[in-house]
Amino acid sequence: MGNSEKAVLKTLLYSDIFSFPLTLDEVFEFLISNKKYDKDSVKRALAKLSPLIDTQDKYYCLKGRKNIIAKRIEKKRFSEKKSTIAVKFSKRLSLIPSVLFIGISGGVAALNADKNDDIDLFIITKKNTLWSTRLCVLLLLELYGARRKRNREQTKNKICVNMLLDKSSLSFLKNRQNIYTAREIAQLVPVFDRDSAYSNFLRSNSWVKKHLANSTARQVLIQYRLDTTHRLSQKMFRLLNPLAKQIQMIRINKHKTTEEVTDTLLAFHPKDYAASTLQSYKKRVRQAEKLYNTHLNI
């Protein structure tokens, strides 16, 4: 088994964790490799792996998993509808002067959302405005009746701002520099971008290329090349930031689970999907290595 076939097999093994078959373009874009391959090489690798994989309606998956293809097609329709909702609310949230970037993340970004899933947003804020920005975002979503609330059963199409980053600290720490985070970054759907925050974010996390060498920046829907927000409003958000933190920490401390809370990063993930996904991925790779008598180099 050549290196390109190993990379394709690892990519399908990873996506199978999410019962997510891939198109040729997606196998190419999310290829798990620290070396770039062109699309023809990926196509040839898929052909060589034909005894190990199934294909139908332009989708590829592991052998015996063809049943997930119909589900993927259905989830794509749900995800596209949710993306429209995400764009609508992102446009409204972009009016907050301290917001630099808004991207759709999670299952909706991957086109793998169920009908009743919520919608995850990823936000980058101006320096020293993380907490005041989040407070303003939550208040606006509450006003529109769109906020995803903790422990509520009805979460369909609600907006969950599950990660916010301060502009001053865009690079993820070593403990997050893994294939799970790399894939989340690569599949982000950039909706709003101010002052090139998106490209700065990608540049600050260039380590992603060590996992997904073929990944590239995506087209931004709404882009402001120059910051036109009023300096007074920016100063107000910075001044309110310590108070906004105190207010929010009272509630966060009451319900804290696996959230990561600092002055430059707010990551609200009650369940540690990264750890379980990485564990499952390593297990699948080991099984594949024994089954196919090869070494996949993870």
Query: pLDDT > 70: what percent of the chain?
Result: 95
Asked whether residue 230 carries a pLDDT value surpassing 90, the answer given is no
| Predicted pLDDT of residue 270 | 55
Contact predicate 10/296, CB 8 Å: yes
pLDDT in tens, 105-139: 999 999 999 999 999 999 999 999 999 999 999 99
As a whole number, mean pLDDT of residues 253-276 equals 81
| Predicted pLDDT of residue 166 | 97
pLDDT in tens, 267-295: 987 567 888 999 999 999 999 999 989 99
**CATH 1.10.10.10 matches 3-65+277-292:** yes
Integer Cα distance of 187 and 183 in angstroms: 6
| Predicted pLDDT of residue 154 | 76
Integer Cα distance of 172 and 157 in angstroms: 28
Contact predicate 95/113, CB 8 Å: no
Q: 201: Cβ–Cβ under 8 A, 6 or more apart, which residues? A: 101, 124, 165, 170
As a whole number, mean pLDDT of residues 55-65 equals 94
As a whole number, mean pLDDT of residues 33-51 equals 96
Distance of CA 107 to the CA centre of its chain: 8
CA nearest neighbour of 190 among 170, 220, 159, 167: 220
Asked whether residue 182 carries a pLDDT value surpassing 80, the answer given is yes
**Residue 42's pLDDT band (boundaries 50, 70, 90)?**
very high
**Residue 229's pLDDT band (boundaries 50, 70, 90)?**
low
Give the chain's mean pLDDT: 92
Provide the edge-to-edge strand list for the sheet that holds 189-194.
222-224, 189-194, 99-105, 119-125, 159-166, 265-267, 260-261
| Predicted pLDDT of residue 223 | 78
Helices (runs of H) and strands (runs of E) counted in the chain = 10, 10
Asked whether residue 23 carries a pLDDT value surpassing 60, the answer given is yes
Asked whether residue 231 carries a pLDDT value surpassing 80, the answer given is no
| Predicted pLDDT of residue 252 | 85
Lowest-pLDDT choice from 6-20, 122-136, 257-271:
257-271
CA nearest neighbour of 54 among 65, 45, 43, 44: 65
What is the domain partition of the chain in residue ranges? 3-65+277-292, 76-267
Asked whether residue 242 carries a pLDDT value surpassing 80, the answer given is yes
| Predicted pLDDT of residue 254 | 81
pLDDT in tens, 188-203: 999 999 999 999 999 9
Asked whether residue 151 carries a pLDDT value surpassing 90, the answer given is no
